[in-house]
Amino acid sequence: MSSLFPALTGDPGEQVALRFGDRVLTYAELAAAAGAVGERVRGPGRVAVWATPALETAVGVVGVLLAGAAAVPLNPKSGEKELRHILTDSAPALVLAAPGDELPAALAGLERVDVDVRGAGPLPDDRGRDEGDPALIVYTSGTTGPPKGAVLPRRAIASTLDALADAWQWTGDDVLVHGLPLFHVHGLVLGVLGPLRRGGSVRHLGRFSTEGVARELGGGATMLFGVPTMYHRIAETLPGDPELAKALAGARLLVSGSAALPVHDHERIAAATGRRVIERYGMTETLMNTSVRADGEARAGTVGVPLPGVELRLVEEDGTVITSYDGESVGEIQVRGPNLFTEYLNRPDATAAAFTGDGWFRTGDMAVRDGDGYVRIVGRKATDLIKSGGYKIGAGEIENALLEHPGVREAAVTGEPDADLGERVVAWIVPADPASPPSAGELADHVAARLAPHKRPRTVRYLEALPRNDMGKIMKRALPHD
């Protein structure tokens, strides 16, 4: 197939490709630095990337992709248990990190290569690579057990980014701003590889702030990507911040994804800026499936229409395909197309369960289609999946981590509505010793250290016993709510 990054493999020029704070790389500099990474990444195989929100992560991933290997982005805040699982499962040949980054003990046995953003090497030619070759392994939570590695082929990255270019009229003239983490699809594939595939540029904020958004959109950036929590914080800030309102009003495109954008936040932003945030719908396993188009109507509460090349259908519980666009008939979203992952690494069972016999991927998301074909997501099949701050979190992995705490006899985890995070992780605990239950802070630290800080319970409730059915299964719906 053709190169993933034509702007790099052609004749890279002096246009800015990447900006992280005051550190900048032009296309020519990125080509040289990615070439230096490519020299260290010999042949196919997997390469872990310590995915801090820094220039080195972008250079490292681009170098790995051009060299024909697959990158495994690691959350630098991953706890011990999660990190060990990912490393054992993906067995990377080496780990790329920024010079000076301190790596945890779990990575000690792995060869480390520092990414030199001023390095120079011959740019590997990726044009002969097969479109089915793995490009990224991205770990994503399920309802139970540890996260699974979604194997994303080169084809999926190219097709999803080109489909978005069509939907959003996204070109090399666009300058994208965001503060998303670089170990998930949203921040890495859309937020970094996207601008590079178009020959445009990205300005990464390091960490999200409304000040950063106002500064960059006010200073030449044309597009903003964010999760709903970020747009919620923008909506909260707008009334007292005319600079932010002006900056957003001047943007070409404001895009939200990873979770549902509350209609209230959409409307508050529209009222204060005259701009409507558009939503797109994707998943680690599928990359992007639908979007409101730049030239379409940006209605609140809809994720728009299927992207070019993506087949989408709604299917009822009994397998009946819904054919009417009546805005009422609810079915599971199933998708098929070049945007899909190929498998869960080392998990043929989970891969088989995720697809129907004829290749449709079961998303687990429930939706209706409006009269004009717009998709509206109305819920999710699994109650044991929580979306908090745009991160997908499996109840099961947190329950397992909590049960490893000596002060916990029984544990159940649920998601509850949260104005800022969408959903917040709530832990229901039966303490081993009711006279001295572990504190909420202690349990949060315990989960943060094992899994990741975003998976920590934000609320802990103590019970004498968990409600169980005759089979002994925990009945989460029977948990007492406030």
What is the contact surface with ligand AMP in residues (CB under 6 A)? Answer: 140, 185, 257-260, 279-284, 303, 363, 365, 377, 380, 387, 392
Q: Which residues contact 198 (CB under 8 A, 6 or more apart)?
A: 7, 161, 165, 170, 171, 172, 174
- Looking at the Cβ atoms of 361 and 391, the one nearer to ligand MCA is 391
Phi, psi of 389 (to 5 degrees): 65, 20
The binder of 174, among ligand AMP, ligand MCA, none, by C-beta within 5 to 8 A per type, is none
- Looking at the Cβ atoms of 67 and 393, the one nearer to ligand AMP is 393
Q: How many residues does the chain have?
A: 482
> At its nearest, how many Å lie between ligand AMP and the CB of residue 115?
26
> At its nearest, how many Å lie between ligand MCA and the CB of residue 32?
29
The binder of 162, among ligand MCA, ligand AMP, none, by C-beta within 5 to 8 A per type, is none
The binder of 279, among ligand AMP, ligand MCA, none, by C-beta within 5 to 8 A per type, is ligand AMP
Interatomic CA distance for residues 342 and 172, integer angstroms:
29
Tell me how far CA of residue 59 lies from CA of 18, 27, 89, in angstroms. Answer: 9, 11, 24
The binder of 303, among ligand AMP, ligand MCA, none, by C-beta within 5 to 8 A per type, is ligand AMP
Task: Give, for 254, the enclosing helix (H) or strand (E).
Answer: strand 253-256
Nearest position to ligand MCA, beta carbon: 389
- Looking at the Cβ atoms of 183 and 281, the one nearer to ligand AMP is 281
- Looking at the Cβ atoms of 92 and 226, the one nearer to ligand AMP is 226
DSSP percent split of the chain into helix, strand, coil, nearest 5: 30, 30, 40
Q: Which residues contact 319 (CB under 8 A, 6 or more apart)?
A: none
- Looking at the Cβ atoms of 5 and 183, the one nearer to ligand AMP is 183
Interatomic CA distance for residues 17 and 28, integer angstroms:
9
The binder of 363, among ligand MCA, ligand AMP, none, by C-beta within 5 to 8 A per type, is ligand AMP
> At its nearest, how many Å lie between ligand MCA and the CB of residue 183?
8
> At its nearest, how many Å lie between ligand AMP and the CB of residue 458?
18
> At its nearest, how many Å lie between ligand MCA and the CB of residue 156?
11
Strand partners, 112: 95
Q: In what order do the strands lie in the sheet with 253-256?
A: 23-26, 16-20, 201-204, 175-178, 223-226, 253-256, 278-283, 287-291, 305-306
Interatomic CA distance for residues 60 and 118, integer angstroms:
12
> At its nearest, how many Å lie between ligand AMP and the CB of residue 408?
27
> At its nearest, how many Å lie between ligand AMP and the CB of residue 436?
37
Task: List the Cα angle 465/466/469 in 5-degree steps.
Answer: 120
Strands 287-291 and 111-114, how do they pair? unpaired
> At its nearest, how many Å lie between ligand AMP and the CB of residue 70?
18
Q: Which residues bind to ligand MCA, rule: CB under 6 A? A: 77, 180-181, 184-187, 208, 227, 229-230, 257-258, 282-284, 389-391, 444-445, 448, 453-454, 456
- Looking at the Cβ atoms of 119 and 181, the one nearer to ligand MCA is 181
**Residue 393: closest CA among 376, 415, 416, 370:** 415
Strand partners, 204: 20, 178
- Looking at the Cβ atoms of 66 and 205, the one nearer to ligand MCA is 205
> At its nearest, how many Å lie between ligand AMP and the CB of residue 141?
7
- Looking at the Cβ atoms of 170 and 231, the one nearer to ligand AMP is 231
> At its nearest, how many Å lie between ligand MCA and the CB of residue 31?
27
The binder of 453, among ligand MCA, ligand AMP, none, by C-beta within 5 to 8 A per type, is ligand MCA
The binder of 181, among ligand AMP, ligand MCA, none, by C-beta within 5 to 8 A per type, is ligand MCA
Phi, psi of 461 (to 5 degrees): -120, 140
- Type of residue found at 6: P
- Looking at the Cβ atoms of 233 and 409, the one nearer to ligand AMP is 233
The binder of 456, among ligand MCA, ligand AMP, none, by C-beta within 5 to 8 A per type, is ligand MCA
**Count helices and strands in the chain by DSSP H and E runs:** 14, 26
Tell me how far CA of residue 88 lies from CA of 81, 85, 106, 148, in angstroms. Answer: 11, 5, 10, 12
The binder of 334, among ligand MCA, ligand AMP, none, by C-beta within 5 to 8 A per type, is none
The one-character DSSP state at 191 is: I
The binder of 362, among ligand AMP, ligand MCA, none, by C-beta within 5 to 8 A per type, is none
